[in-house]
Amino acid sequence: MTTTAHTTALATELRYLALGDSYTIGEGIDEAGRWPVQLARALRAGGVPLADPRIIATTGWTTDELDAAITAQEPLGGHDFVSLLIGVNNQYRGRNLDEYAGQFEALLRRAIGFAGERAGRVLVLSIPDWGVTPFARRQGRDAQATAQAIDAFNATARQACRRQHVAFVDITPASRAHGGQAAMLADDGLHPSAAMYALWTAQALPVARALLHDAPAP
């Protein structure tokens, strides 16, 4: 039997939509370690009743592939909070930066729409630098060239966020500082571990809390 208190809690729970690729789905780790799940848990611990996220993300997705997947699952409106982290696979595949700029901005506008046209309820994380990982070294990748490309993609995303008045959290320095450490990586030597995602969550948490400052108390 459902109690009145439980029904009330469900009614006031805030809906969260997380959009992305392997970094959002948490490739190679348990569901509880994914950064959007960690973020929702941390917000609840601080009194913000944010539900665990509905995640639309798959390892390997580029911006256009995420866009197509979103279209396949519409309607997706009515969310109180939306996060977006996308672009590493555009960079990895050598896709054009101008193409990314247009597709990312379109995704950003869709994210705002899913948040009820509230740009202040959307959070973007920067692309981490996979060039420091053992996987990149095994492939013989040029770490400096990878870093420069990722910086260009992130600058493009940051500019789009400024235009759309969306919060942008730069987790790339943390990925560079710790991305070569075994404890910060999944078994594949490429994707982050739950410990790395915890660092990202710590950076995103105060920003997300500020965006949700007017959310109802549980």
Judging by beta carbons within 10 Å of its beta carbon (0-12, 13-18, 19+), is residue 88 exposed, middle or buried? buried
DSSP assignment of 109-153: HHHHHHTTS-GGGEEEEPPP-GGGSHHHHHTT--HHHHHHHHHHH
Only one residue has tokens 């770490």, namely 143
- Give per-residue pLDDT as tens, 110-127: 999 999 999 999 999 999
Q: What domains are defined for the chain?
A: 14-211 (3.40.50.1110)
Question: How many degrees, rounded to 5, is the angle at CA 58 between CA 54 and CA 64?
Answer: 100
Residues 6+ apart with CB under 8 A from 188: 27, 28, 135
Q: How many CB atoms lie within 10 A of CB 186?
A: 18
- Give per-residue pLDDT as tens, 5-31: 333 344 479 999 999 999 999 999 999
Check if the beta carbon of residue 56 is closer than 8 Å to that of residue 16: no
Q: Give the pLDDT of residue 213.
A: 87
Statement: residue 215 has pLDDT above 80: no
Q: Give the pLDDT of residue 216.
A: 53
- Give per-residue pLDDT as tens, 72-116: 997 788 999 999 999 999 999 999 999 999 999 999 999 999 999
- Give per-residue pLDDT as tens, 188-208: 999 999 999 999 999 999 999
Q: Give the pLDDT of residue 29.
A: 98
Q: Give the pLDDT of residue 5.
A: 35
Statement: residue 141 has pLDDT above 80: yes
